[in-house]
Structure 1
């Protein structure tokens, strides 16, 4: 079974990062179990979208951008899509990388007894990420991620169990949708941190690295469902843990760990710190890797992960993260641009995915079924709604 696990683990690790931990902490602290259903919906949507991206990668043996470029015949439309993709993924991931490295740094700070080392931790974490990406091929990264996701999963699930949660409350929050007062933006944020546009590109590219035959489609589907389902379980565990923590002021993912220690002891704090460290490292690796795959597809570079230009892209993004974090630079305008670009990119890519997986000339017998199209259309509509809300929030109309 575990031999079939692969690219999906990297996708799960990518969306369970410091941002997701912070949002799940906010949701649990403010609304208890009431918004677990939003995470369940977002996990189902992620499985369906990533499943389509993975299927395209397997059947075509191309990256997502390659397929989109070949299928869009109108030049200006093709150029517009590529500009949106490059803007959202390259600039966005560079801006967000500081947050990913910062999350890992916060976790490591709590596990190290020497406070004098703290100023050097961002560069240390960045250096580890750089070395892992430089010297590792896909198969090595896959094994590393299985280990890191295992640490992350055990850490957060153990924390949730320690808090002795109400099973009835969890099931009610999962299957009885409620929208508490002032809860809409939290729901949007929960979905937005789970359904991540860059993961669509990452997944398609990684699937073609691992599998070469259309007969492997069952393995691709299994990998997607199990891995993303486990990622969703981690997110739910974080929300459950936060609902038991007396937190009034939340600034980052570590606040929950600090609140848990007086109630449940040092072990709960250490498990949370270890989980945050693993989550930060995994997201800090997948963000630059996805950006490099997107650039490689857009510009038609050969050679995969060993291409010098490929390495230059992910290296630049890791460097941006280290510099922004080490010198306390807050590129607010860049992040706002990235949020708007991602708000446009998600519905655009959801529409393109649905269009491509229904093209017999591309997918052959692996086209979408009627049921897949029904769910796919619902997810596209939801993506449009989510993207519009994201843009309105950034420009101050929401």
Structure 2
């Protein structure tokens, strides 16, 4: 397949779908599934509409990232680097504008906290399935497995493994929704927007929280790694993105069904965070038996490990691009930097320093820090995409217009409100 003649393969474009599946699989983590479960357990089907709106917003945001990448034939960090002059004197400081400085500080701090969170989430189902090893040991082994995979494997193998994880997630999550027998008439009532008492901020979190944070910006890097370059791939990218986030929407709706049918009626409450899925495992074991419980834990692992693997690969690519810009060598490592020292250095940063946090048993402060850090990137991404895609940095035919601008602005406002709520929670 050549990248110079995309129109020759449009008829079989369904077979080309891949980067969107990768970004969706990375974005939907165990914590997102728990948030959706808790929404179903507390409010039944009343917030189904919010989950659907959230899926639409993420489709618009990922499409904007892909459109920038293909229309400008530049990375998202190239775009951020064009938003103002360098803030500091000197060879390095002169290349870092406000956007680059924000990203650089953010990604280092976020990576440290996320590394511990991802390793813990992946270890939880493994420790439940194979209790011969401690949770911390499973966490460290999971981090090393992710590091080894991105260190030695290329994008093609990475995409295949991520797609396989999505397949396992789909069978597990949708299978559970079928097993608990959804009440279809009641589910239809959830399509009409409503706000049960005490659900306002929870609704905003459900809309804005499922389907990715910083990894959405990595979509453009995965498009480049796939070989999709130039506006001729726009149609394929849009199909890829929509299919991926429709699958994400199915995950969300399925987990809402499980929460509404299995937990809401029985008044069962789950813990917050990934440990809530272990509560669900116990409920499934008592209700349906050990085989269903095991199947669910395998799906739990696939969800967590795909998020870990996607961050180790995608965010390391973004860091390699950041480093290339700082060194004044933009373009050399930016597109396919998975063999660069910066890529491997950041993958090491995600893996080994955060292991120290595993021995803190994830205290409340770590959980709060992860929530706050996760909320601070999306307003930045939505706002900068609005700026870039309404400027002459992209050809006129690919600039944003009415619907795209409305969705990006709505998403940016929503994410800013959620970030404000998380910051207020610190005090």
- Normalised by the length of structure 2, the TM-score is 0.84
Gaps of 5+ in 1: none
Does the 8 Å CA contact 1:296/1:310 hold for their aligned counterparts? yes
1:155 paired residue among 167, 172, 175: 172
Does the 8 Å CA contact 2:114/2:350 hold for their aligned counterparts? no
Residues 128-151 of structure 1 show CA distances to partners (whole Å, capped at 9, x for unaligned) of: 212211111111111110001110
Does the 8 Å CA contact 1:16/1:235 hold for their aligned counterparts? no
1:209 paired residue among 208, 222, 225: 225
State how far apart, in whole Å, the 1-side matches of 2:155 and 2:395 are. 25
1:384 paired residue among 416, 419, 427: 416
2:343 paired residue among 302, 305, 310: 310
Aligned pair 1:232/2:249, yes or no? yes
Aligned pair 1:248/2:269, yes or no? yes
Label 1:26 to 1:94 Cα distance change in 2 as closer, same or farther (>3 A): same
- Determine the structure 2 residue equivalent to 1:267: 291
Does the 8 Å CA contact 1:13/1:279 hold for their aligned counterparts? yes
Label 1:22 to 1:218 Cα distance change in 2 as closer, same or farther (>3 A): same
- Determine the structure 1 residue equivalent to 2:121: 103
2:38 paired residue among 20, 23, 26: 26
State how far apart, in whole Å, the 2-side matches of 1:330 and 1:80 are. 32
Gaps of 5+ in 2: 1-12, 89-94
The RMSD of aligned alpha carbons is 2.3
Residue correspondence of structure 1 range 311-350 to structure 2 within 5 A = 311-325=344-358, 327-330=359-362, 336-337=368-369, 339-350=371-382
Label 1:64 to 1:361 Cα distance change in 2 as closer, same or farther (>3 A): closer
Residues 246-271 of structure 1 show CA distances to partners (whole Å, capped at 9, x for unaligned) of: 42242422211211222222233122
Label 1:321 to 1:280 Cα distance change in 2 as closer, same or farther (>3 A): farther
- Determine the structure 2 residue equivalent to 1:298: 322
1:87 paired residue among 94, 105, 108: 105
State how far apart, in whole Å, the 1-side matches of 2:270 and 2:376 are. 32
Label 1:329 to 1:103 Cα distance change in 2 as closer, same or farther (>3 A): closer
Aligned pair 1:169/2:202, yes or no? no
Does the 8 Å CA contact 1:343/1:390 hold for their aligned counterparts? yes
Aligned pair 1:44/2:53, yes or no? no
Label 1:191 to 1:371 Cα distance change in 2 as closer, same or farther (>3 A): closer
Does the 8 Å CA contact 1:4/1:222 hold for their aligned counterparts? no
Label 1:331 to 1:49 Cα distance change in 2 as closer, same or farther (>3 A): same
Does the 8 Å CA contact 2:208/2:414 hold for their aligned counterparts? no
Q: 262-271 or 346-355, which moves further after superposition? A: 262-271
- Normalised by the length of structure 1, the TM-score is 0.90
- Determine the structure 2 residue equivalent to 1:186: 202
Residues 336-369 of structure 1 show CA distances to partners (whole Å, capped at 9, x for unaligned) of: 4554454443222211101111223324421123
Q: Alpha-carbon deviation of 1:118?
A: 3.5
Does the 8 Å CA contact 2:76/2:217 hold for their aligned counterparts? yes
How many residues of Structure 1 are paired with residues of Structure 2 in the alignment? 391
State how far apart, in whole Å, the 1-side matches of 2:208 and 2:317 are. 22
Does the 8 Å CA contact 1:295/1:310 hold for their aligned counterparts? yes
Does the 8 Å CA contact 2:125/2:301 hold for their aligned counterparts? yes
Label 1:299 to 1:41 Cα distance change in 2 as closer, same or farther (>3 A): same
